[in-house]
Structure 1
């Protein structure tokens, strides 16, 4: 039998993906260690340790085991930070990230709070020089603009460490959390929808350490402390981690602890979360895991390659991740999915479409058992309804909450809108309605308005650190083109412009994305990333024949096949940022995206028979070369 490089590469990457399943049958993955998360966790634990109740006779913790555990974690975390300083004196969010002022300021604050000697004598001096060169406080504010979601927490952390005066920390209206949750979007709050816990805890901390001079205002705000704390308590999940995120949870913990609320239930649960989520090397990731997201991405990738995904017995788990009650954090209706099965997850418009697409592929797989159909259709209908209710007036979809368009990460996103449209395409014949038709029409109108003059789209949640604006147009354009493909609109002018833009962005090595790397000669050259190349290849597969995209597609496939042959399909890139410019990478992304692209290519070329035609929608079939 003749060796086929495409099939061999697909089968190898598929086997690698399947090997990453956990015993329960789904995928969990592994998020990158984060200097930002590690610094905030250390600061939180240091302030808790400093304010922990002491034994009056010994001056030591009443629970010496707790003291020992906190001290060990703090020291290990500081050593990890000291070993990951970049050459320019700063820190990036991950070990593959460029330095940025936010993370560097937080690391400096952590060392000041612990009074632990730096690993190198000049470490903090180099860090201070980097901060000064980056513009200091003004540079930090410039990075985040009018969005106070991250700038104020960072400055609060620094103020608690004594490296920034409290006068530089903007007050936050924590009392606004006391109004009914459904009114939040009308208040024009200075933080995004998911940051209400920070609004409460940090707002109270700023008030505690630097109260306003006007007595009546002090009295009024003081009256809101306990009611807003009750709101904070209701929002905290059973795991203790707000959004399962280390930074947000750390900011809340350090704020409450600095006010003497060491024994408050929110503080105690938050500390337990931090103790439980530390990585073996002493660092912290930005989030616990992306299990639901990684699982639905994996299932959809395998289905696109013709696999009978009914054999992967994890669909009860996927169904169990759907929210059946109103969510306490955002007030979201039942029916959506979040990114993880852990309690700190929140339903959103990226994970919900991913789950709906996976359920659709499962329902249409050869081995699907009809006994599951009622539950699948019930879950799908609830998910579709949830998405229809989330659509913004501009026709696009936001991440968590409808109508929060005041700040960047609450606006409609092209990538989110496209993903929702794909889910609606999968289920529109099962649940036809004028509301769904109108939502689709408005959704595509939004995408047409969001398309940039040269043909690309910018995603909301993913970036490329080498892009001038830290954006990832390859990701955004590829995701939008998938929606055009699934709705048989790939021949429209907007889609043609997007395809042409992708072709024009191909790197000289045959891939896409990535960034400059230094060769032995010292001259930089662009090295493509696995994630972005796989996304571009999959998007170009949808181009109708005859197409000028064919040469670019062939080169991209060759690049991706070679990457698998050389085991480079496991190389991660920091292609995403979470919250406001908080970078991460995920161990499974390059493998999943590779499987998805190569599997669809093998089906389109007739090398693999599709498990079901409906899972591929209108993807074109390229003729064999």
Structure 2
């Protein structure tokens, strides 16, 4: 039965591989990105794309909740006022009548939550750009911020990559305060209650820092007109230079939708013609994020080809489909960033580039997670492919170890990006301004080093000490980039196994007990995105999903539990829930963007992770082994 399940899943995954060897699957977020895309077209007063807007409208209407009448941040998620205001605004812009039943119900839910005055900062900016809300409610971030020296407490260098790329063009927009040129002049006055509402923060804040930064914001607002004109122009010019250098051609600024859209609006506000090369490339980058079907369409927040390809290659090697994996590695090799010292170099200027980015092209922002996964896949294939990937492996490891943070862990894009006081900025109400080390990324880097045979080094011991400190009392680990404690625990158990920390170690034993305790009655595992609640109270159960079940199984098998009843039940769940096409259905979101703010549905996760888990189970049972030598 397992052999058949593996063969069917491998054949189905192989059928989705592109002719050049790579995989890329849809990456779906919530209603905000497709809504913002519609609003952007109208902001720029572009020709009406009636068919496309009709498809996006159908998508937005379908994902609206019948339970709370608005839009959440993930499948079956609770009402979110900011997402709901954007979706409502986009549907009204498309032409949905405000008295249509779905619009009336959504409006009532929005008003009950405080109305448009209760939305987050980025939604307030979106409203202000249309004259549908006041700029006065947007926290002040003067463009002169880009000129601040590195030692200054508030600098762009102290922010995460995603915050940096999103904020820089916004600095120009906030200074110029443009208003949309759309002829329809659609507003959403009906979403305001007439009362000021304090938005609910999603950040971990400290009262004293919050008071200080709120006072600073007030001072900046009062003095906004007092900046010397020459200094302001110099700051705007620096912002434009920053954006232009990082445009990535048609892959866009930072290769993420919010930054890409902001760059287009910045160029527009500065008077760049539509055919100006920078503006045209920035605008084209957004079109490449669209997923257009026969009946519906939506806009992705970014694309994930390197991540999908590397993970699918691991699954294919596990399943014995080596030729498929080798083609993937051939595609990955030339995408290593070797010549661009990205923003990470401001903290580590003496480290040579050598990482991989998440997207097709994002040379200024490679990440440690992708790099470790690619290196492990290449190393795993060395016995078959020979030395063809040796230089890529060595450079990837060199770059990775060069970005280890002082506490022993690794963040995703930068070293030591942990200036926690910045989360108290009024602008940072989403709580996602920073990129500190996390257990899941650290685990991947440990796995990579251990797979290459590193043991007992100072950097390895520092990393293992970090992971030990990060383990929760219940035995789990937090998962920053996947939902959530199941993802983190899988990642760390694989790392500990690769590093030689055996099943008898208390860290491992506690994690195994935790995973066993949270298994669903049907044999699978599930976890809700609400486990990222502000109190981080721990795992919140959810119906079993294919990807989370696969993570739990991979973690347990790494911990020597291949013969346990727990693993047998999980394997049976995967086998029983495999569809006729050889794959697994999964609507629930199991990817993390920003905790409490932004979640992701990786359409590839239920395609390669269950295959990986089933194939590993088969391989371990055949060899009578309890663990594997690989880091994942």
Do Structure 1 and Structure 2 share a fold, with TM-score over 0.5? Answer: yes
Moved more, 448-457 or 95-104: 95-104
Aligned to 1:291: 305
What aligned pairs does 1:204-603 form with structure 2 within 5 A after superposition?
204-209=172-177, 212-214=221-223, 215-217=225-227, 219=229, 220-258=231-269, 260-261=271-272, 263=274, 265-281=277-293, 283-309=297-323, 312-328=326-342, 330-331=344-345, 333-343=352-362, 346-365=365-384, 368=385, 370=386, 373=387, 375-406=388-419, 408=432, 409-428=434-453, 437-463=457-483, 472-491=484-503, 492-514=505-527, 527-544=543-560, 550-564=564-578, 569-579=584-594, 581-603=597-619
Structure 1 residue 160 corresponds to structure 2 residue 129: yes
Aligned to 1:90: 70
Q: Is the 8 A contact 1:364 1:615 kept in 2?
A: no
Q: How far off its partner does 1:27 sit?
A: 1.2
Q: Is the 8 A contact 2:494 2:559 kept in 1?
A: no
Q: Is the 8 A contact 1:482 1:539 kept in 2?
A: yes
Aligned to 2:32: 36
Aligned to 1:196: 164
**In 2: Cα distance, 1:403 partner to 1:577 partner:** 21
Q: How far off its partner does 1:311 sit?
A: 6.5
Q: Is the 8 A contact 1:110 1:161 kept in 2?
A: no
What aligned pairs does 1:48-197 form with structure 2 within 5 A after superposition?
48-49=44-45, 67=47, 70=49, 73-74=52-53, 76-87=55-66, 88-93=68-73, 98-111=78-91, 114=93, 116-118=95-97, 121-136=100-115, 140=119, 151-178=120-147, 187=155, 192-197=160-165
Moved more, 438-447 or 232-241: 232-241
Q: Is the 8 A contact 1:35 1:283 kept in 2?
A: no
Moved more, 224-233 or 276-285: 276-285
Q: Residue by residue, what CA displacement relative to the aligned partner does 1:254-302 show, whole Å, maximum 9, x if unpaired?
A: 3553565554654432222223332214633334421111111011123
Q: Is the 8 A contact 2:314 2:325 kept in 1?
A: no
Q: How far off its partner does 1:617 sit?
A: 4.2
Q: Is the 8 A contact 1:299 1:309 kept in 2?
A: no
Q: How far off its partner does 1:543 sit?
A: 3.0
**In 1: Cα distance, 2:11 partner to 2:154 partner:** 49
Secondary structure of 2:592's counterpart equals strand
Residues 28 and 265 of structure 1: CA distance in aligned 2, closer, same or farther (over 3 Å): same
Moved more, 219-228 or 313-322: 219-228
Mark the runs of 5 or more structure 2 residues left unpaired by the alignment. 179-219, 347-351, 424-431, 530-540
Q: How far off its partner does 1:597 sit?
A: 0.6
Q: Is the 8 A contact 2:143 2:175 kept in 1?
A: no
Q: Is the 8 A contact 1:93 1:103 kept in 2?
A: yes
Q: What's the TM-score, normalizing by structure 1? A: 0.80
Residues 305 and 186 of structure 1: CA distance in aligned 2, closer, same or farther (over 3 Å): farther
Residues 110 and 293 of structure 1: CA distance in aligned 2, closer, same or farther (over 3 Å): same
Secondary structure of 2:327's counterpart equals coil
Q: Is the 8 A contact 1:41 1:247 kept in 2?
A: no
**In 1: Cα distance, 2:277 partner to 2:482 partner:** 34
Moved more, 191-200 or 326-335: 326-335
Moved more, 188-197 or 221-230: 188-197
**In 2: Cα distance, 1:255 partner to 1:217 partner:** 20
Secondary structure of 1:380's counterpart equals helix
Q: How far off its partner does 1:75 sit?
A: 5.0
**In 2: Cα distance, 1:268 partner to 1:275 partner:** 11
Q: What's the TM-score, normalizing by structure 2? A: 0.79
Secondary structure of 1:314's counterpart equals helix
Q: Is the 8 A contact 1:200 1:228 kept in 2?
A: yes
**In 2: Cα distance, 1:486 partner to 1:240 partner:** 36
Residues 615 and 238 of structure 1: CA distance in aligned 2, closer, same or farther (over 3 Å): farther
Secondary structure of 2:560's counterpart equals coil
Q: Is the 8 A contact 2:145 2:156 kept in 1?
A: no
Mark the runs of 5 or more structure 1 residues left unpaired by the alignment. 50-65, 141-150, 464-471, 517-524, 620-625
Q: Residue by residue, what CA displacement relative to the aligned partner does 1:352-388 show, whole Å, maximum 9, x if unpaired?
A: 00100110111023xx2x3xx1x42211111111111
**In 2: Cα distance, 1:115 partner to 1:27 partner:** 34
Q: How far off its partner does 1:33 sit?
A: 6.5
Q: Report the aligned-residue RMSD.
A: 3.3
Residues 225 and 542 of structure 1: CA distance in aligned 2, closer, same or farther (over 3 Å): closer
Q: Is the 8 A contact 1:34 1:284 kept in 2?
A: no
**In 2: Cα distance, 1:186 partner to 1:361 partner:** 43
Q: Residue by residue, what CA displacement relative to the aligned partner does 1:141-182 show, whole Å, maximum 9, x if unpaired?
A: xxxxxxxxxx433221022233322111111243233457x7
Residues 42 and 617 of structure 1: CA distance in aligned 2, closer, same or farther (over 3 Å): closer
